[in-house]
Amino acid sequence: MSNPRQDLLSLLARRSFQLGQFKLSSGAISDYYIDCRTTTLHAEGAHLVGHVFLNAIRARSWKPDAIGGLTMGADPIVVAVSMTSSHTRPIHGFLVRKSEKSHGTGQRIEGFRQKGARVVVVDDVCTTGASTIQAIEAAREYGFEVVGAMCLVEREEAGRQAVAQAAAPAEFVSLYTADEVRAEHMKLQEKAKNPGRSKPPIFAVSAKCDFCDRPAVTNIPGNRCAVHTSEEE
């Protein structure tokens, strides 16, 4: 059976995780980088993101009216979750500008705008947590009730405590840790280096080995019993 959470982890490990020397937005240097947008903007990734976030939200019975976050890390997550929810209990989307726009209505919250509504604030990667905190503060300032905060990947640095404090009394949830994504990346790299031999199809047990009278267990490259199959390996 398909496991959306595991499938999304594998996709993050393949498409979003890189080893090297990278300067983060905080100014710190890291030996890895996670660019979640290569996954959240991927066709399969968007589908999985919608399901994994929605499953996590429902498991906590938050029952939000809308989901949103600071542009642009949150943008594809918001759209994916909103679309996935459309056939059941719809969760609408909103986006938080980094600053109020200087033209038109000058609003900072785009999309869903209903004061008093229950909302979940989301982000793609949480390092210091600054963008998530900014979105939480903007949502509350507008008049939303923040019932939960979520990030796709948490880098397990100082940001967790800060976001948890900003979200309180709402819960802050990270769907994956950077260590999980790194471990999956290394596992996939090792598998690519040592793909191993897939087991050949099993032949009818009534057939006999080409080298002896034992029952054959495979017909590739010829009729082979268990003994002569292992000898070739």
- Return the residue matching tokens 């923040």: 146
Would you write out the chain's pLDDT as a tens digit for each of its 233 residues?
579 999 999 999 999 999 999 987 777 789 999 999 999 999 999 999 999 999 999 999 999 999 999 999 999 999 999 999 999 999 999 999 987 665 556 689 999 999 999 999 999 999 889 999 999 999 999 999 999 999 999 997 768 899 999 999 999 999 999 999 999 999 999 888 887 655 544 444 457 777 777 777 776 667 777 667 655 54
Question: Do 155 and 225 fall within a single domain?
Answer: no
Question: Do 186 and 212 fall within a single domain?
Answer: no
How many domains does one find in the chain?
A: 2
CATH code for the domain of 119 = 3.40.50.2020
**pLDDT on residue 71:** 95
- CA dist 41 to 81, 82, 124, Å? 13, 15, 11
- What is d(CA 49, CA 54) in angstroms, rounded to the nearest whole number? 8
158: left (phi over 0), alpha (psi -120 to 50) or beta: alpha
- Provide the 10 A C-beta neighbour count for residue 80: 24
Contact (Cβ atoms closer than 8 angstroms) between residue 203 and residue 218: yes
**Nearest one of 92, 11, 94 to 49, comparing CA atoms:** 11
Domain containing 210 equals: 198-233
Contact (Cβ atoms closer than 8 angstroms) between residue 153 and residue 183: no
Question: Do 119 and 207 fall within a single domain?
Answer: no
**pLDDT on residue 157:** 73
Q: Could you tell me the pTM of the whole model? A: 0.80
